[in-house]
Structure 1
Amino acid sequence: MIYSTTITRKGQITIPKTIRDALKLPANKKILIELERDEKEIRLRPQVDILDLAGTFKPRQKVSVLKAREAIEKEYERH
């Protein structure tokens, strides 16, 4: 579907509610605006927040918080 919106003097646009609902964009959600190669089209995508991924990936084995912290510190020292 094609929707019409207006660019304000400040360069702002309103994303129609139908599109916000389809993309699950709540108020104050960050989005990515991608300019296509031909520079005549833009693409809007929700920006993934790292917290949105919490619980998505299951560890192969359980690791204690202490061991995880030690591994992080060890890796940090290497760099």
Structure 2
Amino acid sequence: MTIPKQVRKTLGLKRQGRVVIGVEPIKKTFTIHQPPSIFDLAGTFTPKDKRKIIDAVKIRDYMEKHYERT
């Protein structure tokens, strides 16, 4: 769906991607908003088992040492 620039500006839709359109039939209105990006969600979730928290730098080092293309 293409949303005109002025409408995007008015609604505050800044980045490209998905939008969520909600419809309220009783009020005969609809809403448009962007869902949060993966970067917006960073830090909002915590693992159930805190012992399994792994540092991202350690993960990258592990991948560099063990990953091979096939």
State the TM-score, normalizing by the size of structure 2.
0.45
Higher relative contact order (CA 8 A, sep 6+): 2
State the TM-score, normalizing by the size of structure 1.
0.41
